[in-house]
């Protein structure tokens, strides 16, 4: 009997092992979230202590990590699709931990920025590599839910950095960075993860796949297409519509998320909420979790396209209300709903993107989307500075969200319960 590699994974990779892969992936996501969102809590103090630069320098401090993430995301496709998912994950994870930890000892603003760039390189490469790996080692029946649950760990990392800052951070911002050193203990299990069965079969054939699985595979397996220049395939007729659509969604979510969360204290202050801004920022990060868990349910219940359209539309509405409403209680509710819908969209798009591309250039597709995301992340910190008005910034974020929802609903390809080649 001739089967697809999806069917082989369903048969020969036990669900218990698939769950273990999910839990291992959690640690990488927490590390990246923690490292990236340090900026929301610490960079004002860092800018004051390490440099006397004004608001543009602080914006540069915030965006420097995204410059690194751009290059990390761009390189992830080459490293992962060429040398394997396992090697890529270990390289990027190690860079993430080391340079975040070392920044806690920094006395120079210039060196601080360089280390943020290098740690950002690790963050940017790690996300698409882990996302691709998990999409290739779990059954298609649970793939969407697992990928959203993986992305939900972003909220856990956000909450963790908030807890650290509200406790140890009161002594010094440096403690926020030193805490990354303790994450090294989570790095060790990744050294022993097996390679992706899809990647092994594509590169080395059935015999190597059997060695990886530790058993004889009786069925014949459909070949996986190999391409010489993966990035070009993203823009060919078979994939260009979905590529343009998903790139715009990633760009939008990056602009909206980082444009809001990196400037939350300023946004709250502009509305007259001067006290407890750090606590409100922390609570908005807590409210990311319901968005992820709702997405984990909906992607398998109603599908990827309807879920993503729903969350993007909700983000547009909530962000617009966040900008326009002055009644304090309703304003805070809209702030929390912005978190729910925006992070629900993030969770859905992380599940959706790897399903749009085949094994031979899946990480390249993921990495290219990640590159576009980092462009948005680089731009986002400057938007409130350029407008010098948080109202205008939030209205722009709302418009982008509505446009993204339209593109998904008109150009999106449903992938729920469909095999990925």
pTM, two decimal places: 0.78
Largest CA distance in the chain: 69
User: Among all chains, which residue has been given the structure tokens 């909450």?
Assistant: 159
| pLDDT number for residue 126 | 92
358 part of a folded domain:
yes
Q: Report how many domains make up the chain.
A: 1
Residue 229: pLDDT above 70? Answer: no
The secondary structure of residue 327, as a DSSP letter, is -
The residue segments making up the domain with residue 321 are 2-212+226-411
Mean pLDDT, rounded, for 328-352: 87
60 part of a folded domain:
yes
75 part of a folded domain:
yes
Asked which of 44-58, 71-85, 167-181, 398-412 is least confident by mean pLDDT, the reply is 44-58
Per residue in 341-354, pLDDT (tens digit) is 999 999 899 889 98
Residue 318 in tokens: 């909530």
6 part of a folded domain:
yes
344 part of a folded domain:
yes
419 part of a folded domain:
no
190 part of a folded domain:
yes
Contacts of 32 (CB under 8 A, 6+ apart): 96, 123, 126, 127, 154, 157
154 part of a folded domain:
yes
CATH of the domain at 367: 1.20.1250.20
| pLDDT number for residue 311 | 97
**Is 118 or 29 the better-scoring residue by pLDDT?**
118
């Amino acid at each position: 009997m001739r089967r697809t590699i999806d069917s082989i994974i369903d048969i020969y990779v036990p669900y218990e092992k698939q769950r273990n892969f999910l839990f291992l992936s959690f640690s990488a996501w927490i590390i990246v979230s923690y490292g990236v969102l340090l900026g929301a809590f610490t960079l004002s103090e860092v800018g004051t202590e390490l440099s006397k630069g004004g608001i543009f320098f602080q914006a540069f401090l915030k965006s420097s990590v995204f410059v690194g993430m751009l290059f990390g995301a761009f390189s992830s496709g080459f490293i992962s699709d060429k040398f394997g998912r396992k090697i890529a994950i270990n390289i990027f994870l190690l860079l993430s931990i080391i340079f975040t930890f070392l920044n806690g000892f920094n006395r120079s603003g210039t060196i601080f920025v360089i280390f943020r760039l290098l740690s950002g390189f690790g963050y940017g490469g790690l996300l698409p590599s882990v996302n691709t790996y998990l999409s290739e080692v779990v059954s298609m029946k649970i793939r969407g839910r697992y990928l959203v649950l993986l992305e939900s760990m972003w909220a856990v990392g956000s909450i963790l950095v908030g807890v650290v800052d509200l406790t140890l951070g009161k002594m010094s911002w440096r403690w926020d960075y030193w805490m990354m050193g303790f994450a090294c203990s989570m790095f060790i299990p990744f050294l022993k993860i097996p390679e992706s069965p899809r990647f092994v079969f594509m590169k080395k054939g059935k015999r190597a796949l059997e060695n990886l699985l530790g058993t004889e595979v009786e069925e014949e397996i459909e070949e996986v297409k190999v391409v010489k220049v993966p990035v070009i395939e993203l823009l060919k007729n078979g994939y260009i519509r979905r590529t343009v659509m998903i790139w715009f969604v990633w760009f939008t979510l990056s602009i909206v998320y980082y444009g809001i969360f990196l400037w939350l204290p300023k946004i709250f202050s502009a509305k007259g909420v001067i006290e407890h801004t750090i606590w409100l920022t922390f609570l908005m990060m807590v409210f990311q979790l319901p968005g992820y868990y709702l997405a984990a349910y909906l992607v398998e219940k109603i599908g990827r396209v309807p879920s993503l359209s729903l969350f993007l539309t909700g983000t547009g509405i909530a962000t617009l209300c966040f900008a326009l409403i002055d009644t304090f209680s309703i304003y805070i509710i809209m702030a929390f709903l912005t978190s729910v819908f925006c992070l629900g969209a993030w969770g859905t798009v992380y599940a959706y993107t790897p399903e749009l591309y085949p094994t031979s250039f899946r990480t390249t597709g993921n990495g290219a989307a990640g590159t576009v995301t980092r462009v948005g992340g680089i731009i986002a910190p400057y938007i409130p500075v350029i407008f010098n008005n948080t109202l205008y910034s939030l209205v722009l974020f709302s418009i982008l969200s509505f446009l993204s929802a339209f593109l998904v609903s008109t150009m999106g390809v449903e992938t729920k319960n469909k095999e990925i080649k």
